Amino acid sequence: MKPFQTLTRQIAQWRKFSTSQQSVQRPLNLFARRTAIQVKRCRRLARIHFKSAAVSSVLPSSTKRRKARSKVRGQPSVFFVLAVLSLTSAIGYRLYNEPELGVGTVAPQTLRAPASARVIDTKTTESNRKAARTAAIPVLMIDQTTNEEVNQSLQRLLDRGNRVRQQSGSFPFVDTAVLSTQTQQYVRQIEEWEWRMMLFTIENNATPAPAPTEIAPSTNPLTNSGKAAISSSTAHQVSVSELQAYRRSSSAEDFAALKEAVNQARQRYATAIALLIADATSEQDRFYDPSLLSLTDGEWTRTQSAVRLILERILTQGVPPGLPDALLKTAIETQVRSEAPATATALSTRLLMAVIQPNLVQDPEQTKARAEQAAQSVEDVVVEIRQSEIIVRSGEIITQSDFVLLDYFGLSRRRINWSGLLGFGALVSGSVVVFLLVEQKFHPGLRRRDHLLLLLLTLGVSLVVALDTPAIGLSALGLLAGSFYGSALGVTVVAILSFLLPVGLEVTWTNLVASSLGGIVGAAMAGRLRSREELAMLGIGVGLTQGLVYLILNLMLSPATFPVWYVVLKGAGLQALLGLAWSIVALGISPYLENLFDLVTSIRLAELSNPNRPLLKRLASEAPGTFQHTLFVATLAEAAARALGCNVELVRAGTLYHDIGKMHDPLGFIENQMGGPNKHDTIDNPWVSAAIIKKHVTEGIFMARKCRLPKAIQSFIPEHQGTMLISYFYHQAQQRAKDQPYLEVNEADFRYDGPIPQSRETGIVMLADSCEAALRSLKDATPDEALAMVNRILRARWQDNQLVDSGLTRAEMTRIAEIFVKVWQQFNHQRIPYPKAVFSSQPSNTNSL
């Protein structure tokens, strides 16, 4: 009876309180009733939450640690067993039907053929055809472009020779009936003092004296080399005798004309020699010497024709690359002796040696046809045996041909190699242990779904290899694992799988090594990328790496001295295209995997942080004050996260979405009221106002789930408020309860539902969100005053046990406070006060400092 009277009294008091609130409109009362229902529901949930929290707090810390350890241990154990079984069964495919009597094993007994047979050894046949295709002699063809370049080079050299000869004038410069060619050649190149002595001897009818044995050395090396051929006593005496004879047989005017002709020839010859010296400063022009001027005009004409003819013959026959210079010179000299004048043999040889280049290149089409013809001409390797004939004797090592016969007759004893599977399972177990150790060091805390995704990716690569295709997908595995879980784990997964694949599956070594190195390069670089565009560019690098490695391996392992380039380059190009194709596959499926497995990668975080995302655009439009608040909180949180070594990208993205729930009622939050009336003054009910404030958390979670935000981003929405007290309305309710004792103030009604921050990142955002409004309100405060205020706020959060699960330490709280104040100083830097005259005279030039 007493409880009923108490209930009746409370109802009467509530009616009395409701009657005093007639200023509140009916829609508001309806809203208040609905909100009250939600408050009751939240209160029940809060009681359950606090009850479980209380039970947990009663447990000793050792019990908590044991539960945590058992939970952590249970997750890897399941993954370990699943990974070992699945990888062993998938990659160990070769062990399911492995012959006991394989190639290289010892025959336990003498085995005979049960019947006569002719068996084709397909493996050896294919190997022989591949070797024949690779080692086929390339077909060469003449490169007309090279021929044109060689002909142009020769023409340039001949034109230079013609210019030099034009400077020296025609030769002989007088009729050979007057002076012989040798005399004309001698008198035009001797020194001036020698020529004057010769004229003195002729005019005095003296006996020709022998030529001086000691001639002053000339500074012109080309002149000295030219004179060596004809500067002799005999030539001097012959020249003097011919000149004396002409003087006696001709008039004085004719002799004077002859001397003038000689003087002009000498001058022109000196000019030509100077031009030769100037040209000889270039290394490629030094094959021209005075012997060029020793040729008569007729000899020079024949020399040019002979050189052109010889060059045409040699280029038509073809000059292969790598031809020794000695062989080329011998071939040229043989042609020159039969075509060019004897006096121009050396000059013609030098000209041709200077211009001739290899002009034979591979003909791709003909080389391909010959290679295929060589491969098709290889006959099938057939192993014949008669009935009851011995295939292999006891104790002998089984060869390939023996194995072909044994397998054909079913004597190879194929079966499941259980011991091999157990050994391979042990190898896989060790590999998984290595992966777990690397994970623990570089990326601890992977979820079950993360382990499952990595396992599925490795099994997918194994399936591709089992299909016996050259498209080994290690490059895609490296790109995906590296971009999802970092470079260390990505490289580890690719390296481990590259080691396991050749043990359990038939795989070509060159393809495996090329794909493995491409995957390692992709995994090592993918963890550092921040956009899909960078990932696409990395795919090109992976393809080039894979093709280049394949090319180098084939060149190193090729038995041919001159490999068929079309075969090698075709394989390298195919590997490069496969690497690029797998990169495109990885780029295409990565967004789907990120959404399906709820992955938070640097690329996805960068995309979510784009202000053009629909949810952020709505926030900026519907709640502009909240959006500006979010930007400042993000600046504070990013700086602290960077200094403490946390995930800066995660902090940035999580902060941008932590208050999206305020869009459900933007005017319920003061930053969006823009100086207008406060909605909560109209409501005048702290319980209802607190419910509105708390609702932005539940609404934010609902919006985040609707937009499929990652759970790591969703966790920022409730955890940035934790279970903090909504102090303003709590104290308002307490004041109202003093005036109206029948009102009951329950602190749980004014606390957020939590949970408190579970990571360093969400803890940092909670602190930044708590300090943002206080720092923004400071205008003329000193840094010490700002630091003291921030420390008070952080101390309050610490004492309220909001950060006990975040992993932040007390020492880091001091550092965070200093960083927040430093960022605040950057936003509130001093500005120079402009005089009023500046704004009145130059209103368009008011840049702040």
What is the DSSP pairing of strand 382-385 with strand 117-120? antiparallel
Greater model confidence, 468 or 759: 759
Label residues 112-134 b or e (16+ Cβ within 10 Å = b). Answer: ebeeebebebeeeeeebbebbbb
If you average pLDDT over residues 708-714, what whole number do you get? 91
Are residue 581 and residue 645 in the same domain, yes or no? no
The answer, yes or no, to whether residue 99 has pLDDT greater than 60, is yes
Task: Specify the range with the lowest mean pLDDT, choosing from 116-125, 206-215, 755-764.
Answer: 206-215
Residue 95's pLDDT band, with cuts at 50, 70 and 90, is confident
For residue 207, what pLDDT is reported?
52
Tell which residue, 695, 700, 682, has the closest CA to residue 726: 695
Assess if residue 583 is contained within a domain: yes
Q: Which residue has the higher pLDDT, 829 or 441?
A: 441
Per-residue model confidence as pLDDT tens digits over 353-400: 888 888 888 777 777 777 777 778 888 888 888 888 888 888 889 888
Residue 674: which region, alpha, beta or left (left: phi > 0; alpha: psi -120 to 50)?
left
Is 467's pLDDT higher than 70? yes
Summarised one tens digit per residue, pLDDT across range 306-363 is 989 998 988 888 888 888 888 888 888 888 888 888 888 888 888 888 888 888 887 7
**Better-predicted residue by pLDDT, 69 or 550:** 550
- Residue 847 is predicted with a pLDDT of 36
Identify whether residues 625 and 759 lie together within a single domain.
yes
In a domain, 488, yes or no: yes
**How does residue 244 score in pLDDT terms, banded at 50, 70 and 90?**
confident
Same domain, 769 and 667: yes
Last residue of a domain, one of 263, 285, 307: 285
Same-domain pairing of 634 and 674: yes
Which residue range(s) make up the domain with 546? Answer: 426-599
Same domain flag for 587 and 683: no
- Residue 457, CA distances (Å) to 434, 447, 478 in order: 18, 16, 10
Of 26-35, 649-658, 673-682, the one with minimum mean pLDDT is 26-35
Provide the pLDDT for residue 263. 84
Is there a single domain that holds both residue 129 and residue 263? no
Note whether residue 114 is domain-resident: yes
623 and 496, same structural domain? no
Check residue 561 and give its pLDDT: 47
Q: pTM for this structure?
A: 0.59
Higher pLDDT among residues 613 and 54, named by residue: 613
* 49 inside domain: no
Tens digit of pLDDT for each residue in 597-610? 888 888 888 889 88
- Say if residue 661 is in the same domain as residue 757: yes
pLDDT for residue 760: 92
Q: How many domains does the chain have?
A: 4
Residue 345 lies in a domain: no
pLDDT at residue 552, rounded to an integer: 84
Question: Does residue 549 share a domain with residue 663?
Answer: no
Tell whether the model's pLDDT for residue 839 goes beyond 50: no
Q: What is the CATH number of the domain that holds 648?
A: 1.10.3210
Residue 9 has pLDDT above 50, yes or no: no
* Same domain for 257 and 387: no
Burial 156-177 (b: 16+ CB within 10 A, else e): ebbebbeebbebbbebbbbeee
Given a contact cutoff of 8 angstroms between Cβ atoms, the answer to whether 626 and 659 are in contact is yes
Is 668 found in the same domain as 529? no
Residue 430 belongs to some domain of the structure: yes
Out of 539, 569, 599, a domain closes at: 599
Among the listed ranges 184-193, 564-573, 646-655, which one has the minimum average pLDDT value? 564-573
User: 313 lies in a domain?
Assistant: no
Tell whether 749 is covered by a domain. yes
| Spatial contact of 265 and 188, defined as CB atoms under 8 Å apart | yes
User: Looking at residue 226, what is its pLDDT?
Assistant: 39
- pLDDT for 489-503, tens place per residue? 999 999 999 999 888
Complete DSSP assignment for 660-684: GGGGGSGGGSGGGSTTS--HHHHH-
Predicted confidence band at 838 (pLDDT cuts at 50, 70, 90)?
A: very low
* Rounded mean pLDDT, 35-42: 44
Q: Which of 569, 599, 629 is the last residue of a domain?
A: 599
Spatial contact of 585 and 157, defined as CB atoms under 8 Å apart:
no
pLDDT band at 558 (very low <50, low <70, confident <90, very high): low
Q: What string of H, E and C letters represents the secondary structure of 758-784?
A: CCHHHHHHHHHHHHHHHHHHCCCCCHH
Residues 524 and 592 in one domain: yes
> Does the pLDDT of residue 730 top 70, yes or no?
yes
As a whole-number percent, the residues of the chain with pLDDT over 70 amount to 82
Q: Which pLDDT tens digit goes with each residue over 184-209?
A: 888 888 888 888 888 888 877 755 54
Query: Which CATH number covers residue 573?
Result: 1.10.1760
Please determine, for residue 836, whether its predicted confidence score (pLDDT) is greater than 80: no
Per-residue pLDDT band at 816 (split at 50, 70, 90): very high
Instruction: Tell which wins on pLDDT, 781 or 386.
Output: 386
